Every structure is written in C-alpha cells, then in structure tokens.
C-alpha cells in the first residue's frame, strides 16, 4: 500500500541563513516525502556566524497559524522548535492538548550553534508545559543540564521522563572524542545508538533536522524507536553531504539526501556484470559518473548516479546476456551524446524521439551491456498512460 503524505506542523523560528529553524525543518520533511506546514514564532537575522537580530511574533498570530492549517489540512505530527516567549509556549501547549493522540516532538531550542541565546530563563521555565504534551523531547547535553540542573545526563533524562511522561532523546553530539552515543529514555525502556563523529564544521541545524525527521516518521505511523533511528540516519547523511557554505558553522546538505532513508521500497543501486575491470571503469567515468569505490582486487567499482548508485562486478569468465538494459537520465542528452561521440565512444544510435515520449540514445559498455542515455522529464513517472493507484495517497490522518 502506498503511504499517504504525512502532514507535519512545524512550530519554530525562521533562520534567514537557511541552516536551522523552519528552513531546515521544511527541507527535512520535504526531502523525506512529507508536507510541511508552519507556524512561525520568531524571525531571526542570522547566518553561519551568528544571530544579529530577533523579532518575536505575537502569540495570537502564532496561534492563528496553527489553527489555520489544522482546521483545513489536518496534521499527523507536530515539531516544536524555537519559542518566542513563555506566554506563547503556554498557549501552544493548550492548543496541542486538544489534538489528542497526534505525536509531538519538542526540540527545546535555547542556544544557536553559534552561541547566541534564543530562549530566556522565563521561556525555559515554561518549557515544562510543552514537555507535558510532547511524545518525545530532544535536548542536546547543555540543554538537558539547563532543564534539570543535573550533570548526569541519564539521571537528568529520567527526571524529565518521570515529571512530564515524555520520552527523552539524549543527544551525544556535544561530547568530546570520535565516539558518539545517543540514548532514547522512555518510562519503561532505554535504547541506545553508537556512532562515530563526522568531522565537519557544517553542523548548523542538526537538532532541528533530527527533530523534524523524527516527527515525519511518527506522522507516517512508525514507532518511536524506528523514528529516532531513521531520523539519525537522515542527519548523518545530511552531514556527509554538507555543501560547505559560509564562514562559520555551515548548513547541512538536506538537498542531497533523497534515497538514503524514507518510506517504502527504493531502487537505489543497479549492478552490471563485466569482463575487463579497467575498461569498464574508464567507460563509466567517461559517461560522467562519479566513482566512489575502486576495488580492482575484487574487480568491483561503484559510482554515484544522481541520488542512486551504480556498480560493476567484473569476471573475465562471465557470460554477458542481453536481459538487462541500464538507463541513465540526463537533461543535457543531445549535448552529452555529441561530446561522448567526439571522445571516441561509439553509439548504436544517437538521440531519437520515442513513441513513449522519451528521447534516448543507445550504446554498449565494453562488456556488451546495453546502455541508454535518455531524457524523459515528467513522462518517466507520469506518462499519459500511467496506472491509477488503487490506494489513496492523500488525506486521512488525525485532525
């Protein structure tokens, strides 16, 4: 059954630099396949180096945003980030209590990655009301200490769980060293994840991104442990893909995380058989694929092809059959084919318009595998004769 589009309400502040806040939240939910809705609590002027100004949105406007989207579109999960004032925090908690059963992820934003304060003492004191309605609270270690006054993170998390009946995710990103550990503390269970630190200065928005990813998965109907596990993977992949923007703590690479995590089956790698490893590697490099694994001792190479990966496994004795055709889509089809042909790569035929609304060129790799370079646009997934799904993809869910 095709899952419907999870509707995620994000209550948070705006980050003009696009690395954290509502901007990071929207990117996360969108890349995972959900519909992001927003209630902006504050507008900040900030970039990778710091926050220079904050304008708090009046409480009645925040509540009006919440009511507008819930009354019309509905909501499957809520993510709460930066809150502009204690008065706003209390009224948001009252609104969310009325939703009943809708998962709520609360990321208690207090300090930006740059060190700027985003919540005063009175606002932090009001966070208890939001934790009372939250399914899970996701503080980093400094935030956990400020919420509880305790240095022992497990004891601090247990204290919050007992007081607010909200699960707490202890995030280990602020620990020193290469080894990292995150722990999900529930009333009757604890789950931990081990990992290694990804060396990068592009860490702006990691907390926002993780909380939004967890909210997406909860809204899609997954359990809490699964949602945290998949949310962590999204963050790690986005860290790997960080574009290195700005002079300070740069944004994550949300835009590059497409097939690494999500809902349902994803076709993300195709492997073809070859005979001559060097010739095969040279051929696919010349096509324009980026090689990410080079293992000649195992006769194996892997390439990136957009959001998916493509690999070759060579065996001089392999029988190469014409049972599989590999298609690489490219928007610059005609120019690419002309360039490749001039470089000496032979084509069985150049770009042709086909009856199925694709334009494609055909060639073979050094082992005889059939390769198509093509341009289809929306006709790839949405041709005029596309089958109608028997399972609804939209609607439903809690309101």
**Which positions ≥6 away from 61 have C-beta within 8 Å?**
none
pLDDT at residue 120 is higher than 80? no
> 19, 171, 219, 231: which one is catalytic?
171
pLDDT-derived band at 334 (thresholds 50, 70, 90) equals very high
- Is 100 considered catalytic here? no
- Is 205 considered catalytic here? yes
pLDDT for position 399: 40
> 18, 34, 207, 250: which one is catalytic?
207
pLDDT for position 322: 73
pLDDT-derived band at 248 (thresholds 50, 70, 90) equals very high
- Is 208 considered catalytic here? yes
pLDDT at residue 128 is higher than 50? yes
Phi/psi of residue 162, nearest 5 degrees: -70, -35
* Closest to 84 measured CA to CA, from 40, 114, 133: 40
> 5, 44, 88, 203: which one is catalytic?
203
pLDDT-derived band at 389 (thresholds 50, 70, 90) equals low
- Is 261 considered catalytic here? no
Q: In whole angstroms, give the CA distance from residue 395 to residue 321.
A: 45
Q: In whole angstroms, give the CA distance from residue 17 to residue 20.
A: 8
Phi/psi of residue 243, nearest 5 degrees: -80, -5
Q: In whole angstroms, give the CA distance from residue 47 to residue 121.
A: 24
Least confident of 128-132, 161-165, 284-288, 305-309: 305-309
Q: What is the pTM of this model?
A: 0.83
> 18, 208, 231, 314: which one is catalytic?
208
> 206, 209, 261, 309: which one is catalytic?
206
């Amino acid at each position: 059954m095709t899952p419907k589009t999870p509707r995620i309400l994000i209550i948070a502040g705006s980050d003009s630099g696009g690395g954290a806040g509502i901007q990071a939240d929207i990117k996360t939910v969108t890349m995972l396949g959900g519909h992001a809705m927003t209630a902006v609590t504050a507008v900040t002027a900030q970039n990778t180096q710091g926050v220079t100004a904050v304008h708090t949105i009046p409480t009645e406007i925040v509540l009006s945003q919440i009511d507008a989207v819930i009354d019309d579109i509905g909501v499957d999960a809520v993510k709460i980030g930066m809150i502009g004032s204690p008065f706003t925090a209390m009224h948001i908690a009252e609104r969310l209590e009325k939703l009943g059963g809708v998962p709520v992820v609360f990321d208690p934003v207090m300090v930006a990655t740059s060190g700027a304060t985003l919540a005063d003492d009175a606002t932090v004191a009001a966070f208890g009301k939001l934790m009372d309605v939250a399914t899970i609270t996701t503080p980093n270690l400094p935030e956990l200490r400020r919420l509880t006054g305790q240095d022992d993170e497990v004891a601090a998390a247990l204290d919050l769980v007992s007081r607010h009946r909200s699960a707490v995710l202890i995030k280990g990103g602020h620990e020193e060293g290469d080894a990292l550990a995150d722990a999900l503390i529930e009333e009757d269970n604890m789950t931990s994840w081990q990992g290694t630190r990804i060396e990068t200065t592009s860490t702006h928005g990691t907390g926002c991104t993780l909380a939004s990813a967890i909210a997406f998965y909860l809204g899609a109907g997954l359990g809490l442990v699964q949602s945290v596990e998949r949310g962590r993977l999204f963050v790690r992949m986005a860290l790997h893909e960080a574009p290195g923007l700005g002079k300070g703590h740069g944004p994550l690479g949300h835009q590059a995380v497409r097939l690494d995590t999500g809902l349902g089956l994803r076709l993300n790698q195709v492997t073809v058989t070859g005979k001559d490893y060097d010739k095969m590697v040279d051929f696919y490099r010349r096509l324009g694929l980026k090689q990410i694994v080079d293992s000649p001792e195992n006769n194996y190479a892997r390439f990136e092809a957009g959001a998916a990966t493509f690999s070759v496994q060579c065996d001089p004795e392999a029988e190469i059959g014409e049972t599989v055709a590999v298609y690489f889509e490219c928007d610059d089809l005609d120019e690419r084919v002309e360039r490749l042909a001039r470089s000496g790569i032979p084509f069985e035929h150049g770009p042709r318009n086909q009856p199925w609304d694709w334009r494609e060129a055909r060639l073979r790799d050094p082992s005889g595998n059939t390769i198509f370079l093509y341009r289809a646009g929306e006709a790839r997934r949405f041709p005029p004769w596309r089958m109608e799904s028997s399972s609804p993809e939209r609607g439903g869910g809690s309101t």
